[in-house]
Structure 1
Amino acid sequence: MQFRHFFPSDILQPYVKQYYIFESDADIAFEDIVCPSGDMEIVFNLGEGSWEFLNQNDYLKTPPIELWGQITKPLAIRSKGKHTMLGIKFYTHSAAYFLNDDIAIFNDQVTDVSDIIGDPIKALHASLFETPDAQKRIDLVEIFLKKRLIGSEKKSNRIEKVADILKSIKKDPAENNLGNIAFKHGITPRYLHKLIYQHTGLSPTSFNKINRFQISLGLITKNDRPLTSIAYDSGYFDQSHFIRDFKAFTGVTPSAYLENITPVNQLLQ
């Protein structure tokens, strides 16, 4: 397996966290769990292999161009065959610039992006197939995103307000007084909730929980400090609260997670 990461151009840096290309020549089947990251992704499948995700009690095959909505609970996936994937990882709020739907309708599922955007993204997918060079593929994606960005100018003020609110919440991961944050931004708590949910797919409380979880995940992966220290440094009131949230987002305890880290799981967090 090989992962390569690419930084966006200056124009797209406020919207795209990173691009990545995942390649696997191993024609094997495996299963994994995807945990909440707080971000959304578009993934272009350019290889021969197939991916499936668990929807209720059935595994469904992912489409050629995948939109990963907000994952709010552990999501089981499985794969077989050889893969080449190009992914666009957006910030929590920024997928809303490129999609016309309320983001929350995509929660906890993998959607066919061609059903949402149509012929333009189908044409991009075809061009990516015909372009084997990695950097040229990234360039094609950037041209596509810049065109979409021009068409989102009317809603940019609302999305930028969402970005500012999320920054306020992230400044203190233990912060739970959303009333103060709403007052700071000159809106009511009810409108704050509606604004964030509409443009991120998450409630302010859920965003805060996933943010704390992601902080703890980074600290756990280093495996160089006790769980009590990780809990407090991630904004939890106590270790039991931390373990309870961690298990809700991963399906396992922190110690069990450490024993089962996989490259694909790390990529999708």
Structure 2
Amino acid sequence: MTYYEIKPGQLLQQYVKCYYVYESSSHVTFGDTVFPCGCMEIVFNLGNGNWQTQPGDEFVTTPPIELWGQLNRPLPVRSIGRNTMLGARFYPHAAASILPDKVNLFNNQVIDYGAIADKSVNTLQEQLRETKTWNKRIALLEAYLLQQIEHAGKRLGKVDVVKDLMYELRHQDIYETMETIATRYGISARYMQQLFLQYTGLTPKLYSQINRFQHSLRLVRNRNTSLTDIAYECGYADQSHFIKEFKAFTGTTPSGYSINNSPVTLATVQPAETSPVLV
């Protein structure tokens, strides 16, 4: 399995966290679990294999162009055959700039983006399949995204407000309330929550919880920090609270989690500047 990330062009860096390429070069089927990360993704399947998710009791094959909504619980996945995937991972505030409806409508789903977007995305899928070099594929994807953002119009104003609010929450003082943050922007806490749901798919509280969980996950992966210290560093009330929230987002406890049993996670923890990771 190969996974690597590509930095977006300057015009899209405030919207796109990264592009990524995932390739499975064998017919071996393997499973994994995707955890909540606060980001939404559009993924183009350019290979001959299948990618499957398990939202309920059974696995279902995902469409050729996947829209990954916000996850607030773990989602089992499975790779079958020779997959070649090109993904765009958006910052939490940015997916609303290319979606035709409220972002929270897509939570905990992997849906057919080609069915809800305009026809140009299906044309893009065909062009990506016909194009053989990754540089040209990225150029085609960037041109499409820039066009979609141009069409977003008035939505972009509120997207910028949500972006600023997210920054406030990430750097929030432990004693500061949502009401205090909202007041600084001249809005009510209730309206702040509505903005978040519409433009990120998350409430401010859930966004903060996922952000905190992701920080704790990085520390758990390192295996050189006690659970008590992780709980304290990440702002949990106590170790019990940390373990409970970790299990809600991963399906396992911190002590039971092993990155070696998670090939997708093992690949994606690598920084974007590194060379492709072979697993």
TM-score bracket relative to the smaller structure: over 0.9
Moved over 6 A (4+): none
Q: 1:30 aligns to what?
A: 30
CA distance in 2, matches of 1:103, 1:237: 31
Partners of 1:150 and 1:259 in 2: how far apart? 40
Q: Secondary structure at the match of 2:71?
A: coil
The corresponding residue for 2:264 is 264
- Higher RCO, 1 vs 2 (CA within 8 Å, ≥6 residues apart): 2
Deviates more, 1:169-178 or 1:113-122: 169-178
Alignment partner, residue 79 of structure 1: 79
User: What corresponds to 2:5 in structure 1?
Assistant: 5
Matched, 1:21 2:21: yes
Q: CA RMSD in A?
A: 1.5
For residues 122-201 of structure 1, the aligned pairs below 5 Å read: 122-172=122-172, 174=174, 177-201=177-201
Supply the distance in 2 between the matched residues of 1:259 and 1:123 (Cα, whole angstroms): 38
Residues 93, 117 of structure 1: CA spacing in aligned structure 2 closer, same or farther, 3 A cutoff? Answer: same
Q: Gaps (5+ residues) in structure 2?
A: 270-279
Structure 1: unaligned runs, 5 residues or longer: none
1:49-128 superposed matches below 5 A: 49-128=49-128
Q: Residue 134 of structure 1 aligns to which amino acid in structure 2?
A: W
* 1:172-212 residue CA offsets vs partner (Å, 9 max, x unmatched): 38566211111111111110110100111111111111010
2-structure distance, mates of 1:107, 1:178? 23
1:79 CA drift (Å) = 2.0
Distance between the aligned counterparts of 1:107 and 1:48, measured in 2?
27
Question: For residues 15 and 256 of structure 1, what CA distance do their matches in structure 2 show?
Answer: 35
Q: Is the 8 A contact 1:51 1:77 kept in 2?
A: yes
What residue in structure 2 maps to residue 233 of structure 1?
Answer: 233
Q: Deviations over 1:77-116 (max 9, x none)?
A: 1221011000000001100011121000100010101011
Distance 1:66 1:14 in 2: 22
Structure 1 residues 173, 21: CA separation in 2 closer, same or farther (over 3 Å shift)? farther
Contact 2:51 2:83 in 1 (8 A): no
TM-score normalised by the chain length of structure 1: 0.96
Is the Cα contact below 8 Å between 1:173 and 1:234 reproduced in 2?
A: no
Contact 1:35 1:268 in 2 (8 A): no
SS of corresponding position for 2:22: strand
Tell whether the 8 Å contact from 1:172 to 1:235 is kept in structure 2 after alignment: no
Which residue identity does 1:164 align to in structure 2? D
Alignment of 1:236-255 (within 5 A): 236-255=236-255
Query: Post-superposition shift, 1:117?
Result: 0.9
The letter of the residue matching 2:12 is L
Identity %: 43
